[in-house]
Structure 1
Amino acid sequence: MNSKELNPKAMYKLSYGLFVCTAVSGEKKNGCIINTAAQIASDPNRISIAINKANLTHDMVKETGACNISVISNEADFALFKHFGFQSGKTVDKFAKDSGAPAYEIADNGIPYITAGTNAYFSLKVDKEMDLGSHTLFICEPVFMTVLSDATSCTYEYYQNNIKPKPQPVGTTPKGETVWRCTICGYEYVGEDLPDDFICPICKHGKDDFEKIIR
């Protein structure tokens, strides 16, 4: 075994849940999918969440110091992930009346929480934050939390195997052309080299989550 190996596929073996992080700033409501939310202390109770800086929700949480986390269950359908994960709140109002947003309610803190395809939600108050480069880690105090259903929480693995549609071959690029396909959402970048700082415009994952395809 090569002691210096850094195989990015090892990251796929880590266990992740999936959550909708929602926030409100002024009149703007927004939300995004995150896969890092965990209890990190019990006395006092603290929950950590990490949000990609490319997401508008990140800026809203940083500005207001508050958010809600809705825990996605195995009963969720792909529409929930597509709505909150495959479009940007910078260009789309995800909570507009005609947006097709999954069912939601407004919590006492004035922030939406998702009721369709979820089993619990937490209202969080940011206590501390840490800059992690691509993400900010927010250490939060739960000010409210409740169970919405007994459905099993959705893991990243379950989403990949049972909810996310399998990428379909596009077949529109010339033979022999190099394509980089996002293994998360199926987005394809055409070009011989994928920039090191490339971020998928759909799901916001980086270069490590792309596979090289020669057609």
Structure 2
Amino acid sequence: MDQTALFSLTYGMYILGTEFDGKINACIVNTVSQVTQEPVRVSVNVIKNNYTAELINKSKKFSVSVLSRNASLDTVMNFGYSSGRDRNKFENMSYDTDVQGCPIIRTGCNAVISCKVFETIDLGTHYMFIADVVDCEKTNNDDSMTYGDYRDIKAGKQIDSKSEEKKEMYECSICHYIYDGETSFDELPDDYVCPVCGQPKSVFYKI
């Protein structure tokens, strides 16, 4: 089976937010889709050990901020490269709250959607949250960011300005996330997972 065929699937880029008992958090996902028109429902898949997934399981609500093509890489890195268990991702971010109290981001996003969980499906490695859309707003007419756009943005930052040498890069074979961090990939802990799709270190390959 040629699993590279799956690379042809297209994805958007979204900030998935939630709130529970006064705690807010958000992460980057690429699996939001509308599943029904009447009632209007969407679904999102999130890896089980993700802190946002943990809070959504408790709160039964979430928000989706749709990243636009002019969103900064810093925004993606802020919400996608670390866990909310370790730091407050909103500390230096401008944000609002939706009708359910979930955080939403308007800067660099072209729409915000508020959702109430209707059903949770255990998919093994991930939870699928199916939710009713309780409110939504189009914030501007910018084009939505795709995962391909994100990779293009990343490609513009591959040269280390100090050494002018290209960093070693490793790509996730599942969602195509590219790791080019300061820490050598080989030195990352064995329990490292892709910050976008949550798959283990073993699915990465050098590019």
TM-score range, shorter chain: 0.7 to 0.9
Within a 5 Å distance, the mapping from 1:66-105 to structure 2 comes to 66-96=61-91, 100-101=92-93, 103-105=94-96
In structure 1, distance between residues paired with 2:10 and 2:203? 16
Change (3 A) 1:11 1:168: farther
Which runs of no fewer than 5 residues in structure 2 stay unpaired? 161-167
Q: Which string of whole-angstrom CA distances, capped at 9 and with x for unpartnered residues, describes residues 89-147 of structure 1?
A: 01011123xxx22x211112111100111000110000011111221001100000110
In structure 2, distance between residues paired with 1:117 and 1:180? 26
One-letter identity of the residue aligned with 1:142: V
Q: Out of 5, 9, 16, which is 1:10 matched to? A: 5
The SS at the match of 2:36 is strand
In structure 2, distance between residues paired with 1:47 and 1:93? 27
Identity of aligned residues (%): 28
In structure 2, distance between residues paired with 1:29 and 1:164? 31
2:121 pairs with 1:122:
no
One-letter identity of the residue aligned with 1:111: C
Question: Please, what is the CA RMSD of the aligned residues?
Answer: 2.4
So what's the TM-score if we normalise by structure 2?
Answer: 0.82
Deviation >6 Å, runs of 4+:
none
Q: Out of 168, 181, 185, which is 1:189 matched to? A: 185
In structure 2, distance between residues paired with 1:10 and 1:167? 26
Note the C-alpha offset of 1:189.
3.1
Alignment-derived partner of residue 18 in structure 2: 23
One-letter identity of the residue aligned with 1:70: S
Note the C-alpha offset of 1:51.
0.9
Q: Which string of whole-angstrom CA distances, capped at 9 and with x for unpartnered residues, describes residues 59-95 of structure 1?
A: 0011110010000000101011110000110101112
Note the C-alpha offset of 1:201.
6.3
- Between the two structures, name the one with larger relative contact order (CA 8 Å, sep ≥ 6): 2
Contact 2:15/2:26 (8 A) holds in 1: yes
Which runs of no fewer than 5 residues in structure 1 stay unpaired? 170-178
In structure 2, distance between residues paired with 1:68 and 1:23? 6
The SS at the match of 1:84 is helix
Note the C-alpha offset of 1:212.
4.2
Q: Which string of whole-angstrom CA distances, capped at 9 and with x for unpartnered residues, describes residues 159-178 of structure 1?
A: 11135654458xxxxxxxxx
The SS at the match of 1:80 is helix
So what's the TM-score if we normalise by structure 1?
Answer: 0.80
The SS at the match of 1:69 is strand
Alignment-derived partner of residue 145 in structure 2: 154
In structure 2, distance between residues paired with 1:160 and 1:18? 11
Change (3 A) 1:86 1:125: same
2:70 pairs with 1:46:
no
Within a 5 Å distance, the mapping from 1:28-39 to structure 2 comes to 28-39=23-34
- Kindly name which structure, 1 or 2, has the bigger radius of gyration based on alpha carbons: 1
Contact 1:70/1:122 (8 A) holds in 2: yes
Contact 1:17/1:36 (8 A) holds in 2: yes
Contact 2:60/2:117 (8 A) holds in 1: yes
